[in-house]
Amino acid sequence: MARYSKEERRKLLKEALAENPFFTDEELSERFIVSVSTIRLDRGELGIPEVRERTRAVAQEAYSTLKSLDDQELIGELMELVIGERACSKLVVDESMVLTKARVARGHYLFAQANSLAIALVDAKMALTGSVELKFIRPVQLGEVVLAKGVVLKRKLNKYWVEIRLSVGAEDVLCGNWVLFAIEDPAGIRGEME
């Protein structure tokens, strides 16, 4: 027997997707203990598009927010960006990113995903990384999907403290603290990092 009435379920479904638009139909079907086709029907009734389309819409909004980087300069796929607050990106580890011998992602790809997300969080035309302390927690295998989450911990004038955490599923794979500098005039960047 289903746990919720149809009306209840649709209300909760709408709320769940408003909070996290990345839930798949499969995940929702487990959550509400109904079949995947019931979830599809619910979405149809509620006028909510499928997850791929929802992700695209969210990503477009996130990309349009980018200020300190160009679209193609962010490593990974941007999923959320509230400049000065928090951001999220996704990177699928492909053949080009792994070490030949070990088949695990090379450190600088994970660094690039984290570093470019940290830069995206800075509210300025440009940002430079000042210092970084980071820890690689476990290697990332070919084909794994790395989710990066960034949070601005503190800001003082043009200086930002950002925490970045990379995970695969429920496991953290990298975490680190970045100090960055907002630069309003790209022509005068020399010496501004002191």
Minimum distance between the CB of residue 86 and its own copies, rounded to whole angstroms? 20
Closest approach, Cβ 68 to its own copies, in A, equals 8
- What is the nearest approach in angstroms of its own copies to the Cβ of residue 147? 18
Nearer to its own copies, 128 or 145 (CB): 128
Catalog residues that contact its own copies under the rule CB under 8 A.
69-70, 73, 75, 99-104, 106-108, 111-112, 115-116, 119, 125-126, 128-139, 183, 186, 189-191, 193
Q: How far is the CB of 194 from its own copies (least distance, A)?
A: 9
User: Of 51 and 148, which has the nearer Cβ to its own copies?
Assistant: 148
- Taking the least distance from each CB to its own copies, the nearer of 28 and 120 is 120
Amino acid at 106: R
Beta bridge partners, 167, equal: 147, 172
**Comparison of 1 and 187: residue with beta carbon closer to its own copies:** 187
